[in-house]
């Protein structure tokens, strides 16, 4: 059974959906009408944030599939933000309409690579190489590799042979000193 807070958040958002989109007429002469519309838009934003925070727990507790959320009018974007689906409209298990579970999502996630500066240095070739070469050798993300290369340059264990510019063929070239 879902918590009362989760149930209230889901109910609030579904009521917001049933009311339809909030229309703010910037041309309205009546400032009270504009104020009321702005307040309604703020409430809608808060309702969506509450839904995103609590919908997954509610869906899992009540066994509500993603297809039911879609049928009632919850957008794909909100379903993704609430972690009820992942990717291109499918759950992390790859099946449409099933709630995403942490276990299923973990299966899809790539294993993290703990790349230290020293570990990268040991894998680097003699001679010149680029960040792309180092990324392939280190089997880590480009951002992680870039951070480790900067550490190695700062500690003078690597040197920059040629500073890269913009455009094709202008990558920074590194070498072991």
How confident is the model over 18-45, as pLDDT tens digits?
Answer: 887 777 666 778 888 888 888 888 888 8
Taking the CA atoms of 94, 98, 103 and 109 in sequence, report the sign of the dihedral they define. Answer: positive
Dmax over CA atoms of the chain, in Å, equals 74
Domains annotated for the chain, with CATH where assigned, are: 4-108 (no CATH), 117-175 (1.10.10.10)
How many angstroms separate the CA atoms of 26 and 24, rounded? 6
Pairing verdict, β 128-130 and 173-175: antiparallel
Q: What phi and psi values does residue 154 have, to the nearest 5 degrees?
A: -65, -40
pTM of the model: 0.47
33: how many CB neighbours lie within 10 A of its CB? 12
pLDDT (tens digit, 9 = 90+) per residue, 50-62? Answer: 999 999 999 999 9
Which of 49, 27, 22, 48 shows the shortest CA–CA distance to 37?
22
Angle at 85 between CA 6 and CA 50, to 5 degrees: 25
113 is written with which tokens? Answer: 């690579």
Residue pair 24/37 in contact by the 8 Å Cβ criterion? yes
- Give per-residue pLDDT as tens, 118-175: 888 888 888 888 888 888 887 788 888 888 888 999 999 889 888 877 767 678 888 8
């Amino acid at each position: 059974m879902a918590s009362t807070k989760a149930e209230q958040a889901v109910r609030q958002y579904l009521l917001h959906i049933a009311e339809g989109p909030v229309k703010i007429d910037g041309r309205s002469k009546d400032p009270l009408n504009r104020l009321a519309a702005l307040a309604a838009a703020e409430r809608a934003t808060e309702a969506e944030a509450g839904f995103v925070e609590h919908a997954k727990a509610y869906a899992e507790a009540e066994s509500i599939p993603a297809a039911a959320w879609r049928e009632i009018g919850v957008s794909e974007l909100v379903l993704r933000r609430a972690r009820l689906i992942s990717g291109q409209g499918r759950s992390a298990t790859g099946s449409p309409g099933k709630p995403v579970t942490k276990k299923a999502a973990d299966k899809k996630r790539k294993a993290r690579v703990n790349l230290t500066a020293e570990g990268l240095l040991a894998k680097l070739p003699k001679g010149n190489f680029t960040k792309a070469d180092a990324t392939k050798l280190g089997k880590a993300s480009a951002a992680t590799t870039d951070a480790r290369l900067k550490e190695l340059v700062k500690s003078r264990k690597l040197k920059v042979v040629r500073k890269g510019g913009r455009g094709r063929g202008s990558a920074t070239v590194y070498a072991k000193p």
